[in-house]
Structures are given as C-alpha cells and as structure tokens.
Amino acid sequence: MKKSKIILITLSALLLTSCNSKSTQNLEAESNSELQNNQTESYYDTSVTFSNDIDIIDDTDSISQANHETQTDAANIENIPKNYKVNSLVFPSGNDELTEYNADILNIEPFTVNITLPEKWQINLNKPDGMAFAYSLGFSTYYIYDENNICIGTAGYNVMPDLADGDMMPAAIYSQIDLGNDYRFDIREKYDIITSTENFEAAITDVYYSNVFNNGNGEMTNRGIVAYDLSKGVYAAFEFDAEALSQEECVKAAESISISNKITTTATVS
C-alpha cells in the first residue's frame, strides 16, 4: 500500500512537471512569435520611411553616367604628375551679370570641369588689369596665373547649340567661339582630338588674333583646349599664352579634363 502511494505521488509530480514545461514552451513560442511579428512590422515601417525620404534612381543611363564620371575622376587623381594638381572649376560661377539674353545659359544646372595644371599656378575670378586676351571665350570666365602671378590663361563655358545628329561637327558645336574674324578658336583649321567617348570629347586647337586685336604687333596664335559633354549640353574652353605651355604640356592638360555633375567645396580654385 505504501509503495502504491509513492508511485502515485511520483507520477503526479512527473505529470505536473511536464505540464509546466509545455506551458513554459508555449509561452516562449508565443513570445518569440510576437517578437518576430513586431520586428517584421518595424522592418517594413522603416522601409516605408526610407522610401519616402530617398529618391530612388531608376535610370540605367544616369547610373552608368555617374559611374563613368566617378571612374574618370578617380583615374585623373591617380595619374597626377609630380608638381601638378587638379583644378576644379564650377560653371556657372555666379560671377556673371544675369540678363534676358543670357538667362538660358546662366540658369543651367551647375557642373564642374577638372583640369590638371602645374601646382604653382592659381585660378580665380579676378580679371587682371590690361587683360590682353579672352575676348569671346564664353561665360563665367576664370583667370589662370602662373607662379609669378602673371595671367597666362583663361577658362569659360557655354551651352551647346541645338544640333541634329548629322550636324555634330566641331565647328558647329563651338560656333560661338569659332566665327570671329579678328579673334577666334580656330576649330575649322585645327582640331586635334585628344580624348573621345560617346558623350565627351576633348581636343586642342589654336586661338587666332589678327593684327588689329594684337595691338598692331602682327598676327598671333595662342594655345586652345576645348571639351564638350553631350549629356549635359555644355562645353568648356581654355586659352593659354603660347609661351606658357608647350605643345606636349597642352596635350597633357587636355587629357586630364573631365566634366562632372559633382559640386564640392574642395575645388582647388584660389
């Protein structure tokens, strides 16, 4: 009789322990399920918040162009020769007087033109006294100074004219600076392509001065660099004193040019 009571008590204890264990497991399972549901709801809520705050780019061409610009900029930085530096010029510069005639040009989305030049050269928007060149370079003119603080070059930009695919000739693209009689970028006579891709092209040319524009000292030719970007519909032009850069140095400068949408505060313009 005593043994039966002991066995019955033991069985009851086991059953009670089992029930408690199952109850605990059920509670843990319910708790885990609720936690997972809460985490799922939190995840989707966060996703919705980000979707509302961030503009998602769904344009393969734009992404490809951005990647190309990033790769180009990185390549330019990696290949900087000793004693040279990358200069980043923002166009429009904000230094032009806005009129009804140039509003379409000055109100475009800003862009950056990068060019590698000697590190002791400086670029700014201050026009020197007695400026001897850059009569029709374009808009937002920058002035390039050598190590002796002598102005030896300029840079400017313009928008490309509306052209059909069949009319995409250099003389047509740069018609605003190519048509002068006494001063012009002589695109029709000299246009040596240095870099060319689907949307971008950089070339070297001559900048012609007549005897009249050269103060009666005879005709003169400076060095010119031009570069356009079809995706942005803009071009940049550089003019350098013929004695400031050799032909080889001019080619190297043209090779370093890139045009980008990125506008940063680290532009090396003094």
Determine which helix (DSSP H) or strand (DSSP E) holds 29, and give its type and residue range.
Answer: helix 2-53
Sign of the four-CA dihedral 143, 190, 161, 69: negative
Can you say how many angstroms the Cα of residue 9 is from the centroid of all Cα atoms in its chain?
83
Q: pLDDT tens digits for 201-234? A: 999 999 999 998 888 889 999 999 999 999 999 9
According to DSSP, residue 174 is labeled T
pLDDT beyond 80 at 28 = no
Contacts of 214 (CB under 8 A, 6+ apart): 220
Q: pLDDT tens digits for 57-66? A: 333 344 344 4
